[in-house]
Structure 1
Amino acid sequence: MINRKKTRELFIGNVGIGGDNPIRVQSMCNTDTRNVLTTGTQINALAEAGCEIVRVAVPDEEAAAALVEIRKNSPVPLIADIHFDYRLALAAIDAGIDGLRINPGNIGGEDKVDAVVSAAKDRGVPIRIGVNGGSLDKVLLAKYGGPTPEAMVESALEHVALLEKRNFHDIKISLKSSSVLNTIAAYKRLSEKVDYPQHVGITEAGTLVRGAVKSAVGLGILFWEGLGDTMRVSLTHDPVAEVGVAWEILRALGLRERGPEIVSCPTCGRTEINLIELAQQVEENLRGVKDVFTVAVMGCVVNGPGEAREADIGIAGGRDLGIIFRKGEVVRKIRGAENLLPEFMKEIESFLEEKRGK
């Protein structure tokens, strides 16, 4: 049983973070923010996939100006990603952004920090302090001999102190590293010192498979320890895929569910159908479904229903015969490999209509 550490509650737009709220799924657009149409399209795709908060890069004034229209049409709260230039933070707040990702120690003197904090207070805009192991201050690197967990935590606390000094506490903190072990150690150390919500992730995790594995291991351990209030799976891939992996991590730990869970057996020498293709096609056809239920795609008509008896609905295929079952009980038989997918999808449609009370 996972016992989550209760952190301070804050709101990114209308989405509650920390406190008793569930772990929120976040991603980041990889579009040019100055292009309102493409950025808006990607935000909508992310939201449809289950993303609850989206971050967008704000590299210049043109991007900041585009936030007005982007925010107006966004179905989810947006966070502006700002580096170094406090004027962009002020412009993003004026544009109606819901949250800032900015490190106050890197934006200039006290007056610049004052200006950003004052504007954020006035508009109720939380600030995420984002420490990255690959871009720590040289002084801290020298002090600790590298981007250690201790160095990352000290960096975060230095930024936190600048905000607390100005009586600003709507703070979220991230401590990201490409090292799974350093990331875990840093978040655990931070949780002993402050109760601000944590945004967790393994940065620069890699391409789809490698990045998903590193993220699942790192985030899975953090969640098991009760840490983490928002999450991002960082992949060198379409951001929509990040959202899918995030939900599967949450589902695997029993923390949250969204859409069908698809279980399928590994192929073996007894498999007489193209099980890999069938499972992929079922997954693709169900991609937009938000109902929570379990689907099994099995490669053996003899053992399949029994092995997947807990599935709400499933299919098992043999050379000349396929069977559709519910909770381990056979409900239909199908002849012809070409009929397996279409007939199974019809049965799932019927199942969903019953489930929805239609």
Structure 2
Amino acid sequence: MSIRPWRDIIRRKSRQIMVGNVPVGGDAPITVQTMTNTLTADANATIEQIRRCEEAGADIVRVSCPDVESTAALGKIVRAARVPIVADIHFHYKRALEAADAGAACLRINPGNIGSDERVGEVVRAARANGCAIRIGVNAGSLERDLLEKYGEPCPEALVESALDHIKLLEDKDFRNYKVAVKASDIFLAVAAYQQLAEAVDCPLHLGITEAGGLIGGTVKSSIGIGSLLWFGIGDTIRVSLSAEPEEEVRVGYEILKTLGIRNRGVRVVSCPSCARQGFDVIRTVQTLEDRLAHIRTPLSLSVLGCVVNGPGEARETDIGITGGGQGKHMVYLSGVTDHHVQDADMVDHIVRLVEAKAAEIEAAQIDAVPDAAE
């Protein structure tokens, strides 16, 4: 039996679609999505929440459009957003037509749920005319009755069959600008369904573990489910579903991607759990640094270790490091090399300044590396 190199992630080959100006699938970066929880009809509140998601790094944001008031507000929301907006439509096909005309970059809709073939045709024509993608979203909690009768319970085969049925309705209309999700709250069910679907289709796959739970429980559950699929090369865009503010979903999504080495954004913190050897309060220091460095978008690494047991070794692998020492004096590492000491009282402010300076240095180097178009 051949064993794949332990760091290798061989990404599944999918065709690429466009969600607004964001490519999804193919060799495009795996995108991070979230969904607002404001009333969409309240355009200002929704825009404010989208802005926070954008600051956290969201590539695409979904908003629910259950009624006319929501689609009426969508145009203002789309114009204000800096990222593509997905309109979440469930059963009323007219909301999809209104959302497409309002500028939605993608419609989240299951074609088989909106009625007749004529209605499917209307949605496809509206999507095509407005340059909209479509996201088919199969969910174990809302499978079609005939599939539940056929299989007895939600299972991978039922989720995949549902997805293929919806796909056929679009393919029959010669519409291929779509992506698909087969979500479940059971990670074993979701992972198995995505694995089967990945073998059956070439479209981009949107990953998620639905109804995952609160911030801690949902993060763990999503990390195992989404992370397992990404590790095996499956997935082109992700949404971490949490009972938490949507910007937290974005942050967790990036942590999953960073941990797998797929996509980096912001500061990757390496820190110890702390013990009696610690030279400073590691837990509180890390919490403070994460809050104060949340604005950094440039990928870089920071190690925060309480003592010299593992501190020097971890610091050698990071851009900036701090290791606890005795009598309130701690060692600072730059690019893996011991550089200087800092006193306890100045430590957090000092690290923040170092990280901000390093981020600016990296950004400047990247700008310098781009050839001048005029030359």
Q: Which residue of 2 aligns with 1:40?
A: 47
Letter in 1 for 2:338: V
Q: Which residue of 2 aligns with 1:260?
A: 267
The answer to whether the aligner puts 1:17 opposite 2:24 as a matched pair is yes
Match of 2:301 among 276, 286, 294: 294
**Given that residues 25 and 246 in structure 1 are in contact (C-alpha distance below 8 angstroms), is that contact kept between their aligned partners in structure 2?**
yes
CA distance in 1, matches of 2:175, 2:331: 61
Match of 2:105 among 66, 81, 98: 98
The answer to whether the aligner puts 1:135 opposite 2:142 as a matched pair is yes
Letter in 2 for 1:313: I
What's the CA shift string for 1:87-114, capped at 9, x where partnerless? 1000001111110000111111122111
Match of 2:333 among 325, 330, 353: 325
In structure 1, the residue corresponding to 2:132 is in which secondary structure?
A: coil
CA distance in 2, matches of 1:293, 1:150: 42
Go from structure 1 to structure 2 and tell me whether the alpha carbon gap of 1:116 and 1:350 turns closer, same or farther (over 3 Å shift): closer
Match of 2:190 among 177, 183, 186: 183
**Given that residues 268 and 299 in structure 2 are in contact (C-alpha distance below 8 angstroms), is that contact kept between their aligned partners in structure 1?**
yes
Go from structure 1 to structure 2 and tell me whether the alpha carbon gap of 1:350 and 1:75 turns closer, same or farther (over 3 Å shift): closer
CA distance in 1, matches of 2:167, 2:314: 52
Q: How far apart are 1:22 and its partner, in Å?
A: 1.4
Q: Which residue of 2 aligns with 1:278?
A: 285
**Given that residues 216 and 249 in structure 1 are in contact (C-alpha distance below 8 angstroms), is that contact kept between their aligned partners in structure 2?**
yes
Q: Which residue of 2 aligns with 1:226?
A: 233
Q: How far apart are 1:302 and its partner, in Å?
A: 5.9
Q: How far apart are 1:161 and its partner, in Å?
A: 1.2
Q: Which residue of 2 aligns with 1:167?
A: 174
Provide structure 1 residue ranges, at least 5 long, that are not aligned to the other structure.
none
TM-score for both structures, normalised by structure 2: 0.92
CA distance in 2, matches of 1:115, 1:193: 27
Go from structure 1 to structure 2 and tell me whether the alpha carbon gap of 1:141 and 1:259 turns closer, same or farther (over 3 Å shift): same
TM-score for both structures, normalised by structure 1: 0.96
Letter in 1 for 2:152: G
Match of 2:69 among 36, 52, 62: 62
Q: How far apart are 1:306 and its partner, in Å?
A: 3.0
Aligned residues: 357
The answer to whether the aligner puts 1:348 opposite 2:349 as a matched pair is no
CA distance in 1, matches of 2:258, 2:309: 29
What's the CA shift string for 1:33-84, capped at 9, x where partnerless? 0111111111111111111011000010010010011001110000000010
CA distance in 1, matches of 2:301, 2:86: 34
The answer to whether the aligner puts 1:205 opposite 2:205 as a matched pair is no
**Given that residues 16 and 24 in structure 2 are in contact (C-alpha distance below 8 angstroms), is that contact kept between their aligned partners in structure 1?**
yes
Q: Which residue of 2 aligns with 1:3?
A: 10
More displaced 10-residue stretch of structure 1: 22-31 or 337-346: 337-346
CA distance in 2, matches of 1:73, 1:172: 25
More displaced 10-residue stretch of structure 1: 83-92 or 106-115: 106-115
CA distance in 2, matches of 1:152, 1:29: 26
Letter in 2 for 1:114: G
Q: How far apart are 1:350 and its partner, in Å?
A: 3.6
What's the CA shift string for 1:270-295, capped at 9, x where partnerless? 12421100011111111010111110
Cα RMSD for the two superposed structures? 1.5
In structure 2, the residue corresponding to 1:314 is in which secondary structure?
A: strand
What's the CA shift string for 1:295-347, capped at 9, x where partnerless? 01110146522332111111122342222111343222223x32221222233
In structure 2, the residue corresponding to 1:192 is in which secondary structure?
A: helix
